[in-house]
Amino acid sequence: MMQLSPPCNNKTMKIAKTITELKTCLEEIGKDKTIGFVPTMGYLHDGHLSLINEAQSHNDVTVVSIFVNPTQFAPGEDLDAYPRDFDQDSLLAEAAGTDLLFFPDPGDIYPAGASTFVEVEGESTRKLCGQSRPTHFKGVTTVVNILFNLIQPTRAYFGQKDAQQVVVIKKMIRDLHLPVQLVVCPIVREADGLALSSRNVFLNPEQRNQALVLSQSLTAAKALYRAGEGRVKILKDQIISHISNMPLAVIDYVDILDFKTLADIENITSPALVAVAVRFGSTRLIDNIILD
């Protein structure tokens, strides 16, 4: 496969496929450098690349991980089907300015008999995706904690696309006093509004077209809110009826919650998260918008 020309800073990206290789690379980097870390599940798109760009601009060194984390998938979810393309990811990561790409095996992250978990209990993990995926965030917080422990980044970059994940990780960092600064980057969208997702690749043309209803229903809700409607029930009902117009769309949830705590609210009086999850066939898409 052809190598892309070296990125702007004229460096070559290193690839660590084991924890031992990672540690060697990190030792070479040294403890005095700031490290920006972008954890991903691979199949990189412009959303990921915006995180890498952001990390690259504010840190001495940018580390990206690609790890399709088994513990955040429940049995029957799409762990095996999750799209993977390491060669393509590797080229994209290098072109975006990644210094070190960490691509471990599950057996390296979770050694035989591993049974230690980091769990954010309470409202923030029970709502939204936590309802249809009750063990999901326990897997997310555990693997993010492990990756933080291994890489010891100065800053970690997450996309607002996974809004609930951001709330949960922010809470984990605060509750456990993790020595890392969380940086949240805006959702990156296609020109027509569809939020970028590695799972978009599974949509057939008709599903792809109807999937626009996620961003469109959120934009319409924002317009209604801006026009003075602050009642959560009215806003939710409009989104639900909007999405229900699409025959292929099956709603997983539509909810409007306190942006910081994900507590239930009846009226929007402080920043609120409007979040939707919708299935098209076996593909589950999420999107969200903040009203403040």
Active-site residue flag, 242: no
**164 touches a second copy (CB under 8 A):** no
CA torsion 246→48→274→210, rounded to 10°?
-10
- Among 25, 49, 96, 118, contact with a second copy (rule: CB under 8 A): 118
Find out whether 273 and 252 touch, Cβ atoms under 8 Å.
no
In the bound state with a second copy, the residue whose beta carbon lies nearer, of 172 and 285, is 172
Instruction: Return the number of other C-beta atoms located less than 10 Å from residue 107's C-beta.
Output: 9
User: In the range 228-247, which residues lie near a second copy by CB under 8 A?
Assistant: none
Q: What is the Cα gyration radius of the chain?
A: 19
Minimum CB distance to a second copy, residue 173 (Å):
9
Listed in sequence order, the residues at least 6 apart from 58 whose beta carbon sits closer than 8 Å to its beta carbon are 34, 36, 155, 183
**126 touches a second copy (CB under 8 A):** no
**171 touches a second copy (CB under 8 A):** yes
Minimum CB distance to a second copy, residue 61 (Å):
15
What the block records as the tokens of 234 is: 């009215």
User: In the range 16-75, which residues lie near a second copy by CB under 8 A?
Assistant: 19, 31-32
d(Cα 5, Cα 114) in Å, to the nearest integer?
Answer: 41
State the distance between the two ends of the chain, measured CA to CA, in whole angstroms. Answer: 47
What the block records as the tokens of 169 is: 């990780």
Minimum CB distance to a second copy, residue 200 (Å):
32
Of 45, 48, 58, 242, the catalytic one is: 48
- Among 176, 201, 223, 234, contact with a second copy (rule: CB under 8 A): 176
- Among 15, 64, 140, 146, contact with a second copy (rule: CB under 8 A): 146
Check the CA dihedral 53-190-131-282 and report its sign: negative
Query: Which stretches of the chain bind a second copy, using CB under 8 A?
Result: 19, 31-32, 109-111, 113-122, 141-142, 145-146, 149-150, 152, 171-172, 174-179, 261
For the annotated catalytic residues, the residue numbers are: 48
